[in-house]
């Protein structure tokens, strides 16, 4: 097959699935023909599809189909029959050839009638070959040929009817029913004493049982067939020693008749010879030649009968030998079947054991699977609950942080959340104390609402400024506040941050005073640096983040010095030493005595 043809076939195989009706039937016939030699399996597949489709299309009610189109169904049957014949599936081939013949006769198509008959003739020729007889013929055409030969000798109508039924069921694969009718034929023939026909049927039954793998039963019928053949041979040899009286009488009569006929023929032969010789002596040569020819014909007949008898006897002996050989083979089949049965029992027992083990294993795995599945579901539920709890906790933490940062700085809020053990910490910080001057008389002139509004306007920008320089508001009092730079977390030079915050507060306050945004306000700021202790102070019901130590007290006292020095911002030496660009020289530091301290503190009045 060329490359182009292969491409055409591949295209056709894809295209036929999208086709319908006559067009599809034509494609299927073409595919059946293409694959007949190269791929018989595909050819059979497409042939069956073509037959099914054709029979569905060409129904009696479909009057729109032309005879030319109906020819496609005959073609489908013919091609499928040819493929079946190639595959030695003779019975199926015969059915399709006969279907082709029926369709072509119905549409009066001479071409396909001729092809169908030629195919059937080829089929019967194959069936008549010795090779097929010994093989597949016994399963397909043996019953057909056997029935034809048998019906020539069976005159009883009941026998013929049972034979036809037996062949009918055998052709359709209903072997048990066929055997029943064959046995009925044997019963009918036993009444006629036809041992030869009975032997033929017994052989047929043996073949059927052998094909059904019932070798023991086949042995029984094969043995009976052999016995019948041996009786026939004994009958023809005239050597009968055993058997029932009726059979012996019949055989004896037959032998006597045969001997008598042979004697008459030989006497007639001698008489013809004597007459020929007598007329020769009397010179009546014409009569002599006539009797001599009759003498020769009788001689040939006697010789032929003798030879036919020898040949028939030899044939029977050969048949008996062949049947005995088949019986040996049947015996071997029985032994093989018994061994196979034992092996199958062993395999079955082993399979049962393996099956039990596998079943137990499967049950164990299934139980484990169910257990794991339950655990997995529990874990999923737990995981979902944990995720929900986690989400709630994160939301709560954000809310807590938000609430804390509204009360304290972000650094303090994080410290309170992380330091759950309430362990105090020691930090170097810069402390800021801020106080509003003359707050009491100022507050007396305001209503509570006005006072709150005033405090928000004043403390609001101050707190923003402190936090922008990384300071934390520790306390907010009515007339002042306390802030810490460096605790709970340092942000570099905390003293410098505190100093810048104080200057920005003073600058912003002056701008607001000048602009009239707030009432005229004066403040005092004190800065001091040192080591303090920070932590959550209180009991289980109420705690507060606090900064304690002497630097806190000193910072508070330093802020109060602003009143004495008429200033707004005073820093101590500890803060001054940490500044990057100090506002004055060290000589500008003053010693100041603080309340409650014996030693003076060096301070610098900045503003």
pLDDT tens profile 90-121: 768 888 999 999 999 988 899 999 999 998 88
Name which of 246-260, 446-460, 500-514 the model is least confident about: 246-260
Asked if residue 243 is part of any domain, the answer here is: no
**Per-residue pLDDT band at 132 (split at 50, 70, 90):** very low
Asked if residue 170 is part of any domain, the answer here is: no
Asked if residue 317 is part of any domain, the answer here is: no
How far apart are alpha carbons 526 and 554 in whole angstroms?
A: 9
How far apart are alpha carbons 568 and 507 in whole angstroms?
A: 11
What pLDDT was estimated at residue 415?
61
Question: With b meaning 16 or more CB within 10 Å and e meaning fewer, what string describes 487-518?
Answer: bbeeeebbbbbbbbbbbbbbeebeebeeeeee
Asked if residue 134 is part of any domain, the answer here is: no
How far apart are alpha carbons 429 and 531 in whole angstroms?
A: 6
**Per-residue pLDDT band at 145 (split at 50, 70, 90):** very low
Q: Nearest CA to 90 among 38, 35, 18, 144?
A: 144
How far apart are alpha carbons 133 and 140 in whole angstroms?
A: 10
**Is 71 within 8 Å of 109 (Cβ atoms)?**
yes
Asked if residue 65 is part of any domain, the answer here is: yes
- Domain closes at, from 111, 129, 147: 129
What pLDDT was estimated at residue 140?
39
Q: Nearest CA to 122 among 164, 78, 176, 69?
A: 78
- Domain closes at, from 90, 110, 129: 129
- How many residues are given for the chain? 607
Angle between helices 110-128 and 90-106 (to 10 degrees): 160
The pLDDT of 353-375, averaged and rounded, is 84
**Per-residue pLDDT band at 248 (split at 50, 70, 90):** very low
Name which of 293-297, 436-440, 479-483 the model is least confident about: 293-297
Highest mean predicted confidence (pLDDT) among 45-59, 203-217, 218-232: 45-59
The pLDDT of 55-72, averaged and rounded, is 76
- Domain closes at, from 59, 94, 129: 129
The pLDDT of 554-572, averaged and rounded, is 92
Residue 391 pLDDT > 60: yes
Name which of 48-62, 313-327, 457-471 the model is least confident about: 313-327
DSSP-based three-state secondary structure for 425:
strand
**Per-residue pLDDT band at 423 (split at 50, 70, 90):** low
**Is 255 within 8 Å of 247 (Cβ atoms)?**
no
**Residue 91: domain span:** 3-129
What pLDDT was estimated at residue 326?
59
**Per-residue pLDDT band at 260 (split at 50, 70, 90):** low
Residue 29 pLDDT > 70: yes
What pLDDT was estimated at residue 81?
92
CATH number at residue 480: 3.30.70.1230
The pLDDT of 486-498, averaged and rounded, is 90
Asked if residue 346 is part of any domain, the answer here is: no
Residue 129 pLDDT > 60: no
Asked if residue 205 is part of any domain, the answer here is: no
What pLDDT was estimated at residue 545?
76
534 or 321, higher pLDDT: 534
Asked if residue 278 is part of any domain, the answer here is: no
CATH number at residue 41: 1.25.40.10
The pLDDT of 410-432, averaged and rounded, is 71
How many independent structural domains does the chain possess?
A: 2
What pLDDT was estimated at residue 139?
41
The pLDDT of 270-283, averaged and rounded, is 78
**Per-residue pLDDT band at 350 (split at 50, 70, 90):** confident
The pLDDT of 408-416, averaged and rounded, is 61
Highest mean predicted confidence (pLDDT) among 207-211, 246-250, 553-557: 553-557
Q: Nearest CA to 177 among 213, 207, 146, 205?
A: 205
Q: What's the mean pLDDT when you consider all of the chain?
A: 79
Q: What angle do CA 135, 140, 142 make, to 5 degrees?
A: 75
pTM: 0.38
């Amino acid at each position: 097959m060329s490359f182009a043809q292969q491409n055409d076939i591949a295209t056709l195989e894809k295209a036929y699935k999208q086709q319908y009706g006559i067009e599809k039937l034509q494609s299927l016939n073409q595919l059946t023909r293409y694959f007949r030699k190269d791929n018989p399996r595909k050819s059979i597949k497409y042939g069956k599809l073509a037959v099914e489709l054709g029979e569905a299309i060409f129904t009696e009610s479909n009057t729109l189909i032309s005879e030319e189109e109906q020819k496609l169904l005959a073609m489908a049957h013919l091609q499928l029959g040819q493929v079946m014949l190639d595959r030695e599936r003779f019975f199926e081939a015969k059915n399709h050839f006969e279907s082709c013949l029926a369709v072509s006769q119905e549409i009066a198509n001479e071409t396909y009638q001729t092809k169908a008959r030629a195919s059937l003739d080829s089929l019967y020729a194959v069936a008549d070959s010795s090779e097929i007889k010994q093989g597949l013929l016994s399963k397909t055409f043996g019953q057909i040929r056997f029935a034809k030969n048998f019906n020539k000798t069976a005159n009883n109508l009941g026998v013929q009817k049972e034979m036809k039924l037996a062949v009918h069921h055998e052709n359709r694969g209903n072997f048990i029913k066929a055997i029943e009718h064959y046995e009925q034929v044997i019963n009918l023939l036993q009444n006629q004493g036809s041992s030869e026909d009975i032997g033929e049927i017994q052989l047929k039954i043996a073949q059927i049982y052998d094909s059904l793998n019932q070798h023991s039963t086949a042995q029984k019928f094969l043995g009976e067939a052999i016995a019948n053949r041996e009786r026939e041979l004994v009958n023809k040899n005239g050597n009968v020693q055993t058997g029932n009286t009726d059979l012996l009488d019949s055989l004896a009569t037959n032998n006597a008749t045969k001997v008598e006929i042979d004697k008459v023929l030989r006497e007639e032969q001698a008489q013809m010879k004597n007459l020929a010789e007598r007329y020769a002596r009397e010179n009546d040569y014409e009569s002599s030649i006539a009797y001599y020819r009759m003498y020769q014909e009788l001689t040939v007949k006697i010789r032929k009968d003798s030879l036919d008898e020898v040949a028939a006897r030899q044939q029977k002996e050969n048949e008996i030998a062949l049947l005995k050989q088949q019986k040996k083979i049947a015996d071997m089949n029985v032994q093989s079947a018994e061994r196979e049965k034992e092996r199958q029992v062993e395999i079955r027992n082993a399979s049962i054991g393996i099956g039990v083990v596998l079943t137990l294993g499967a049950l164990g795995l299934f139980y484990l699977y169910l257990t794991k599945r339950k655990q997995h579901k529990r874990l999923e539920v737990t995981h979902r609950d944990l995720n929900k709890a986690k989400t709630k906790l994160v939301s709560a933490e954000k809310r807590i942080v938000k609430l804390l940062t509204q009360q304290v700085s972000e650094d303090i809020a994080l410290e309170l959340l992380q330091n759950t053990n309430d362990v105090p910490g020691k930090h170097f910080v810069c402390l800021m104390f801020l106080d509003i001057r003359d707050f009491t008389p100022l507050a007396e002139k305001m209503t509570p609402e006005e006072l709150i509004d005033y405090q928000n306007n004043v403390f609001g920008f101050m707190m923003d400024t402190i936090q922008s320089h990384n300071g934390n508001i520790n306390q907010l009092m009515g007339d002042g506040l306390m802030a810490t730079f460096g605790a709970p977390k340092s942000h570099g030079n905390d003293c410098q941050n505190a100093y810048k915050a104080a200057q920005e507060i003073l600058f912003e306050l002056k701008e607001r005073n000048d602009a009239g945004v707030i009432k005229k306000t004066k403040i005092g700021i004190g800065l001091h640096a040192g080591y303090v202790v920070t932590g959550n102070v209180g009991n289980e019901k109420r705690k507060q983040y606090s900064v304690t130590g002497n630097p806190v007290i000193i910072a508070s006292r330093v802020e109060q010095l602003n009143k004495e020095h008429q200033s707004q911002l005073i820093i101590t030496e500890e803060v001054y030493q940490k500044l990057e660009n100090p506002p004055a020289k060290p000589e500008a530091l003053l010693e100041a005595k603080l309340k409650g301290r014996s030693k003076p503190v060096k301070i610098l009045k900045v503003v």
